[in-house]
Structure 1
């Protein structure tokens, strides 16, 4: 930056930034899910969003140890997240609304809060169980680390046995507080108590946990529990049925539920697959389901108009109710819902996937998770401007209903995107429309809506350097150059229509847009127009007979 003061004679070196600042495109395929999970642990919290980048990480947060991550009551969220990652989805945010159905019968003997720790060779070693009076106090952590034999008292004759690696230490923590600590432990039931204490004997009088030796026969070194931190979490209580709907909606200030998920700026697509699980279980009636759908669409629209302080680059993927398997039924349901929005997309019918909790037999699940994975895969391989259709949803082994051509003629104009089975081509997503009003043809396609959102958000973040700069012609020229460079780049990628940049977009930032009156108010107006590419939804081949001789006039 140029200096404004020179006092001593000499040579001064100045670095001057004359280039325009390139605008980097934002991420377009980051999902947000709301639904039931098998567990909530590892730092995740009930009703609060948690970042997950792969299926293994999902298991660490939302499944029980050594579990497959699915639930005994067939919650749809694990299937949606699994399908999302399988189809090419990247990172996502998960909000758990519970680990059991609120109206499910309670077991006569509730499962105690316990954790099993394995030793060498992945064999069972110790089981720790939280004492009942400690359950209300919250999660505890069992920390196991290396130790050694107990040293002999000073002045005592004899020698300490060598450290064979069988000795360990147990700490019981809650947060950063160490509640109890036991050192010089061993799995040797008949060891010399002068040098080490059998673990079960040492922890017998613990005020916080009970301990059980579940190891098989073998040497103490082989039965020693593995080092690490192990959470001891109390069972998560189910939400009362009368509060369930409000808990799903959540509170913005507390970052809970659907409202809390919308506070994560990077999320660009949202789904709530277990709305349908709650509807099937009679936790929510259809009007309550519609209320949550309406909330998600309204928050997307409010962010776009500036009424809600959230990023305006989101879409909601909706699912049809499970009791509407046929085309006419889903049309009747959509007419009852009677909500249109360019920020919504609906896919039909439900898909069949393998259920790990039923020996791999098919189970019908909402398609939202698999579809959002396809959105992410298409963004990665082609670009956000490519319609996420004519793509194979991975992991799908069947459909709840095989839609034919005539039936899709009924559904497609209404914005219902069909998933269809084709001979020799497999199951494919065969629709790319939003749920916008039919007369708003400019927002008819998902790819157009998402492309414009991508451009808007990228320009918003990429022009932050302009704020508080002198509002003059030099700034206007720099802004035009910066924005034009970005738009030309995505035009070259194929996102904009036109044989030249001049046909594909324009950028206006001059004195006409920024007269003295607006400059006095501290405002800078930039007008951008783009011509997005649209999908070739209808391909018409015009064929006629030709005799090979040009017609003479």
Structure 2
């Protein structure tokens, strides 16, 4: 009722709706866990394209099965992936450089710069320092260059004083995607390149012959020629522009840009000369008495300070992949990610020991049960024949679970790095096919059949016949087949619990994944129920909300049955929630659905009809 009624008339009040929408969650966000060239260790990173994977994780490398799996995922229709970089403990190392300062008359280390992530990639980073700031006597600028990736970061007006508002450690570490810095002293680092002594108010004679050497290339020139250069500059800024023009006009070494790209900057009463190169050997040196008179021999440093010592971590072992739940490392890093539906561990296929592989699969299945994720297992690469697969599948008896599916054999694809055919674990491509199928048909459609084509695949490592497929399918092994015209296809849709001998209710991949999808959607969509009064009004709202959500799935074809009553039910009343439950603060909701199981065997019966007699 309106809070205040002051006059006779009609009052309008809007009431909140009683139906809360239960939204469907994602179905095909795939997590890839394992070794990559670069990237943050044990931190889930969401990406939406392989180009983003290249930027964040360094792209393909022959040592990383994860890189190829991600490439195949996006190539087969995948849209969103979560990548967790894992390395063997203690084997990776960040590239670093320590910058010195001579402002205190004796060189001392003042600033350590480290690559943000371990790996050889960090050894390609370059750091440039200059003092061209609003306060050139106390602050400095820092640039970080990544010549390989093309990234460039610039931080201006930095101070080495912890109390300053632009304290270098605080500013850089909060904003840089490439490096981390650590202040070792309160003196600021020396600038890059050659820095002059302070010029007096009146500039010295500039009509002098100068000798300059950049790297191994030495040149001579006249700093100021009245006939060609006009009036001489009268301030330090004009001198810097003149010197830069003269240096850039000098002939360069073949294929070099050291002279052509030289930069001369004026700050305060000084100038800084830097070669147009990211090669630390291209040091600018002015030679001779004239250079000394101009103060151009005061401080000589390389044009860039290179980071060095980066080491890629060794590929992770079983313990590294399993990780620590308390430390959120390895697989356990996924516990903090809200939307992950599929999990791929492509490195397991190369393990020499099936026992080690099963150990990781067991830990992964435990995580999948708790987080409502579906695991894609690659058959061991050692399974080079049908007989090997039939003999080896017994090792997986201890991990036969409805939250996982195993695919055999491996795929033959052209390696983008070498241009040659190579065998790859199939889970990345399978995840892409699943994502494509979910988008086109729905999570209830089996990701197999003539629509489940494996894009970019040349062939499989083992060519399977119908008879051989018939030996593996009853064991819960999903086969990958090549058919004329259709090409390579996914030709199986069973979980690891789908062996005929087990008679498990979660026999089929689409049934298990549909159940996970419904569970997660209801889990999130019914959070509003917590702390609501536990009575008939609440139960009615729950039934209405859940039924509305399930009816949407029914209309899309997710369930079998001709009517909603035949397809699903939602029960939440005094039969499911007793008086004792209410006393304990519990409300029980029972949801049932009739899944559409895939038509795994299609039987066509043909009968010849005898010609009827003329007398009939």
TM-score if structure 2 supplies the norm length?
Answer: 0.67
**CA apart distance, 1:231:** 11
**CA apart distance, 1:225:** 8.1
Q: Which runs of 5+ in 2 are unaligned?
A: 98-108, 138-152, 159-167, 173-180, 196-211, 215-220, 224-232, 245-254, 264-274, 279-304
Higher radius of gyration, 1 or 2: 2
Q: Select 2:50's aligned residue among 55, 64, 88.
A: 55
Cα distance in 2 for partners of 1:194, 1:478 equals 78
Does residue 457 (structure 1) correspond to residue 520 (structure 2)? The answer is: yes
Structure 1 pair 151/383, CA: closer, same or farther in 2 (3 Å)? closer
Match of 2:87 in 1: 98
Match of 2:487 in 1: 426
Match of 2:260 in 1: 218
Cα distance in 2 for partners of 1:197, 1:365 equals 57
**CA apart distance, 1:246:** 2.1
Q: Which moved more, 1:10-19 or 1:466-475?
A: 10-19
Match of 1:88 in 2: 77
**CA apart distance, 1:9:** 6.1
Match of 1:119 in 2: none
Cα distance in 1 for partners of 2:550, 2:442 equals 14
Cα distance in 2 for partners of 1:184, 1:251 equals 44
Specify the SS of the correspondent of 2:52.
helix
Specify the SS of the correspondent of 2:551.
helix
**CA apart distance, 1:465:** 1.4
Pairing of 1:517-532 with structure 2 (within 5 A): 517-532=580-595
Give the total of aligned pairs. 472
Cα distance in 2 for partners of 1:383, 1:32 equals 20
TM-score if structure 1 supplies the norm length?
Answer: 0.74
Pairing of 1:507-522 with structure 2 (within 5 A): 507-522=570-585
Match of 1:380 in 2: 439
| CA-to-aligned-CA distance 1:467-514 (integer Å, 9 cap, x gap) | 222222222221111111111110010000011111101111122222
**CA apart distance, 1:319:** 1.1
Cα distance in 2 for partners of 1:490, 1:300 equals 24
Pairing of 1:186-335 with structure 2 (within 5 A): 194-195=236-237, 215=257, 218=260, 220=262, 235-236=310-311, 238=313, 244-277=317-350, 279=351, 285-301=353-369, 303=370, 311=371, 313-335=372-394
| CA-to-aligned-CA distance 1:57-112 (integer Å, 9 cap, x gap) | 1111111xxxxx11143x2111100001111112111112239997xxx9xxx997
Structure 1 pair 34/138, CA: closer, same or farther in 2 (3 Å)? closer
Cα distance in 1 for partners of 2:317, 2:29 equals 26
**CA apart distance, 1:49:** 2.2
Cα distance in 1 for partners of 2:570, 2:136 equals 82
Structure 1 pair 214/288, CA: closer, same or farther in 2 (3 Å)? farther
Structure 1 pair 34/184, CA: closer, same or farther in 2 (3 Å)? closer
Match of 1:71 in 2: 61
CA contact (8 A) 1:169 1:183 kept: no
Q: Which runs of 5+ in 1 are unaligned?
A: 64-68, 115-130, 154-167, 202-212, 304-310
Q: Select 1:349's aligned residue among 392, 406, 409.
A: 409
**CA apart distance, 1:151:** 12
Q: Select 2:509's aligned residue among 446, 450, 456.
A: 446
